[in-house]
Amino acid sequence: MQNNVLILDFGSQYTQLIARRVRELNIFCEIKPYNKLPEDLSTYKAVVLSGSPYSVRGEDAPHPDLSQIQGKKPLLAVCYGAQYLAHFQGGNVAPSNTREYGRANLSFIKTNEPFFENVSTGSQVWMSHSDTIKDLPTNATLLASTNDVKNAAYKLEGEDTYAIQFHPEVYHSTDGKQLLENFLVHIAGVAQTWTPDSFVETTVAQLKEKIGTDKVILGLSGGVDSSVAAMLLHKAIGKNLHCIFVNNGLLRKDEFPSVLKQYEGMGLNVKGVDASARFLDELEGESDPEKKRKIIGRVFIEVFDDESHLVEDAKWLAQGTIYPDVIESVSATGGPSATIKSHHNVGGLPDFMKLSVVEPLRMLFKDEVRRVGASMGLDPLLLGRHPFPGPGLAIRILGDITREKVAILQEVDAIFINGLKDAGLYDKVWQAGAMLLPVNSVGVMGDERTYEKCVALRAVESTDGMTADWVNLPYEFLQKVSNDIINKVRGVNRVVYDISSKPPATIEWE
């Protein structure tokens, strides 16, 4: 890949954000742990050193040999990176006496510096560090200071090496993206050619080359990632892609037939497998959330394994893994920390796990997956779908699962979700759904006393599901949805709205 940028990760919570900002500039980049420096650096046009929770002076602190990079490639060192670079070059890093967290304002020491093009002195930056660079290396020139941090930005003479104590990647550094652009585009000369169209073109060509005439199996979930992965593979290998879409009986109302039809309409070679009865039978009587998840995971593997046997000579298993999953499974300090876990390996791994894995989206962030999907003409309704958990309604029915409860919850959920769509609220919400509570309460309908079920509606805003807040839906909307549910769904006489944030609550109730 031409025009690639390497981000060397020292374990900062913001490393992924650096990658996001670089991608927003239409520049491709990869994150590698600092101790897994690729042997071949020829494809990288520039390198960024990330921040870190470590102190340069700490015993276990990352101290990689930068001699392959520094002075040889344009280099931008951020926060810990800047401190380590100073240390590596003979400068002095020591604990700071002043508070160096939060907002600060840059004051330029050196003017006419290309790194500061289109950035004005006084620009707000975000600091987060407890050590400080007391003395710069002798070959360094100070570029900018803040009130509390003298050595806030510097460069090394005679090379394209820049270092900044603040975080350009965070939103609160108002000119952070401009600084990244100045460094990557104007100083390092990286071309801004990373676009969804270019990604589709190169990925399809690579997939063709890699897979040839082999057969590939892919499990579709109805979600964005597996659908976009399927379309890329479909473009590359056509009918040799065999998609399997399993109905576990815990999908939303009418989801199985409608999504299956949509997939067929996209030209995919897809087989719908209705295994509802198998899942629901196995779940009977089980109320423990984790056990429900395990049962569903196991049955899915069994069903998928059976189905994959029906595709003769399949060589590959395609997955919709995306970049955050890849990064999370690699720790900055210890290399890959997660390997495939399987409670099936007692009797040998399922056969599909023995296939080679192909993951066409493993370098993309979620919003990039959506943009790639859009550039291939995927239905915006499919691309804009809320996340839905793999175990489906099973973890939204608190307690044991019965077919009757599934049917009730499907009706309630459909009224809520369609209501959000009709009111133009669906796209303003990150995820929404209904929970069927193991609670009966007294109500009155007509002259009759009722003793029926209670449902909780949940709608949250979030960016990644890690933290979330409840959405302030209009009272009139909640009133209408509540009325519709109670009037139309037999067995429900009470609706409540969940106003808990995550943390301390979670998005799902189980």
158 marked as part of a ligand binding site: no
- Tell me the closest approach of the beta carbon of residue 288 to ligand XMP, in angstroms: 13
Both tokens assigned to 135: 């003395």
Asked if 79 is an active-site residue, the reply is: yes
Strand segments, DSSP code E, in 221-352 are 241-247, 270-274, 314-318, 330-331, 335-336
Nearest to 41 by CA among 16, 81, 69, 61: 69
Both tokens assigned to 13: 């919570």
- Tell me the closest approach of the beta carbon of residue 242 to ligand XMP, in angstroms: 23
Please report where in the chains the tokens 């007391």 appear, as a residue. 134
CA 339 – CA 348 distance, rounded (Å): 16
Both tokens assigned to 186: 């104007």
227 marked as part of a ligand binding site: yes
> Applying CB under 6 A, which residues contact ligand XMP?
293, 387, 389-391, 395, 431, 465, 502, 506-508
Which residue type does 61 have? A
Asked if 29 is an active-site residue, the reply is: no
Pick the catalytic residue: 30, 169, 368, 452? 169
- Tell me the closest approach of the beta carbon of residue 396 to ligand XMP, in angstroms: 9
What is the dihedral sign for C-alpha 356, 361, 366, 372?
Answer: negative
- Tell me the closest approach of the beta carbon of residue 296 to ligand XMP, in angstroms: 8
Pick the catalytic residue: 29, 30, 79, 243? 79
Q: Residue 243 in 3-state DSSP?
A: strand
Choose between 199 and 470: whose C-beta lies nearer to ligand XMP: 470
433 marked as part of a ligand binding site: no
Angle at which helices 276-283 and 289-309 cross, to 10°: 150
What's the distance, CA 415 to chain centroid? 29
Q: Residue 432 in 3-state DSSP?
A: strand
CA 221 – CA 224 distance, rounded (Å): 8
197: phi > 0 → left, psi -120 to 50 → alpha, else beta; which? alpha
DSSP3 helix / strand / coil % (the chain, rounded to 5)? 35, 25, 40
> Which helix or strand (DSSP H or E) is residue 227 part of?
helix 224-237
Rg (CA), the chain: 27
CA 424 – CA 420 distance, rounded (Å): 6
Which residue type does 502 have? K
Asked if 243 is an active-site residue, the reply is: no
Both tokens assigned to 460: 């949250």
CA 32 – CA 51 distance, rounded (Å): 13
CA 274 – CA 31 distance, rounded (Å): 40
Q: How far is CA 345 from CA 217, 292, 295, in A?
A: 21, 20, 16
Pick the catalytic residue: 29, 30, 129, 167? 167
- Tell me the closest approach of the beta carbon of residue 58 to ligand XMP, in angstroms: 33
- Tell me the closest approach of the beta carbon of residue 395 to ligand XMP, in angstroms: 6
Contact 405, 434 (CB under 8 A): no
Catalytic residues: 79, 167, 169
- Per the annotation, binding residues for ATP are 221-227
